[in-house]
Structure 1
């Protein structure tokens, strides 16, 4: 069943643009209201604000709204798109949470497969969109899939509450939506191995020092002001020149083939009985993935759960 699901997953990235015709107007592509949009007067800069209380869990609703928005940015004749999109969060504690682990629990239904495929479509859309520069304004936790999505954006800036982690190794899984292949080129292989294998977290200053974040700002106000000023400056310039720069620098990204190879290795991990047991226990001790002390302390809480034999 998983082999069939993976074949469908690979095909989905190629045919996603044919699934549904979506409006360009960003205010009409958040059907579940999990992303709010605010555009500049001339439409050159859009702020896309995640809002899925209590922890901005990347569930089916967030995935659907993000897919719809990114799809609306894909090029088409006589269509204009913002030159810059700044992703931020309405939640002061969370930029973007991890994937909803209910969606990888067995049985792996068609619905769960569709959500998983749509996640991969989102990552491909981020990489394929050369008409728009993506900036992540991170001032809270970005954990698991949240970290994977943010690291694939063009730039990342951190505020005083920023914390980033791909904690998946602590539950027997891996950062399969691009988190591993992107982290290596960004901070170097040895550092990526340290943070991924040990399920460590980056705070703002550490992330800036290692290159995960472009800049760390000591205050929320400075973060928002500087990111807004940068976005407005970029938006002064012709879109065709911005496009050419993104196309050129995109050559530094991992190849789609390498990303697909990682997915092929990841999918069997979800079937392992020990990993299914760990996922079930994680959901339990996290208070069903709510704003619990366990969630607030990831990755350390998950690492401690391994030490204490909680997942066994």
Structure 2
């Protein structure tokens, strides 16, 4: 069934390209569909089985974000809706192989691309980014959605920055963005507790703009909002986004947090914990451990399974 879904998705993506719309990205981890008056683009993640944010997803996302950077006489999408073709997953966590020693030049390049994605998303003031989340949004997947301008949740939505449970931190801006979004006290609660946030809770906290009880309602309402925004001039959209961007963390704040994170990766106990996580998760497959995140990782910490556990 999973193979069938993959074939259907790729065929549909190819058909979209033939219709004159953007083709599937370099590695096929993002596909694109332009809707309405041509000013709205749906960018759909597809990296089965769990939409793991690996080097291929990062590369395709970075390529796409580069096309959205403004230039003289250049027309870009007014609204981009990010969604997922993987049932139960919006975006998974970072590929932990990329922080295992030895830390090669290739792994370092992926890390730099993550930073570039964050910067480009924040610098793209001519486009509104909307996350349409109807599945798990974990670790860096949660962080990338926090970088977006709006987030809407469906019945399967579950967000978590669970990095504390494995001795790391939400270093791709997760800490710096979550505080202004839901408040310092609640951000501390959910980050330090490595807690999950479902759709209704996320709406109450302000993490999600709106929670919808059906996937159909989620998609229709997000599409309607995107189309509504697309009727308006891009210069007014730009002004509003620039003005409200003062609420984002600064580049200096993001760099400082990243500087604190990097030494954590190389601690011997951290390397042992990452190796254990990879083992427990079936090498980041669609295992029970992955499906039960963040609780499965919290339980491993509580039970002393990780190297730092008590």
TM-score scaled to structure 1, two decimals? 0.91
1:287-311 CA deviation, whole Å, 9 max, x = no partner? 0001000000100000000111111
Contact 1:29 1:65 in 2 (8 A): no
Alpha-carbon distance in structure 2 between the residues aligned to 1:212 and 1:261: 24
Query: Residues 299-310 of structure 1: matches in 2 within 5 Å?
Result: 299-310=294-305
Contact 1:95 1:142 in 2 (8 A): yes
Query: Residues 1-312 of structure 1: matches in 2 within 5 Å?
Result: 27-28=22-23, 30-40=25-35, 42-312=37-307
Aligned residue pairs total 288
Superposed displacement of residue 54, structure 1: 0.2
Alpha-carbon distance in structure 2 between the residues aligned to 1:277 and 1:71: 36
Alpha-carbon distance in structure 1 between the residues aligned to 2:256 and 2:207: 24
* Equivalent position SS for 2:22: helix
Superposed displacement of residue 43, structure 1: 2.0
Contact 1:123 1:149 in 2 (8 A): yes
Alpha-carbon distance in structure 2 between the residues aligned to 1:276 and 1:171: 10
Contact 1:70 1:126 in 2 (8 A): yes
TM-score scaled to structure 2, two decimals? 0.92
Superposed displacement of residue 40, structure 1: 1.7
Contact 1:29 1:69 in 2 (8 A): no
Q: Which runs of 5+ in 1 are unaligned?
A: 1-24
Contact 2:36 2:227 in 1 (8 A): no
Contact 1:26 1:72 in 2 (8 A): no
Alpha-carbon distance in structure 2 between the residues aligned to 1:76 and 1:238: 16
Alpha-carbon distance in structure 2 between the residues aligned to 1:29 and 1:88: 14
Contact 1:35 1:50 in 2 (8 A): yes
Superposed displacement of residue 27, structure 1: 2.1
Alpha-carbon distance in structure 1 between the residues aligned to 2:268 and 2:284: 21
Runs ≥4 in structure 1, deviation > 6 angstroms?
none
Contact 2:91 2:136 in 1 (8 A): yes
Alignment root-mean-square deviation, CA: 1.0
Contact 1:67 1:118 in 2 (8 A): yes
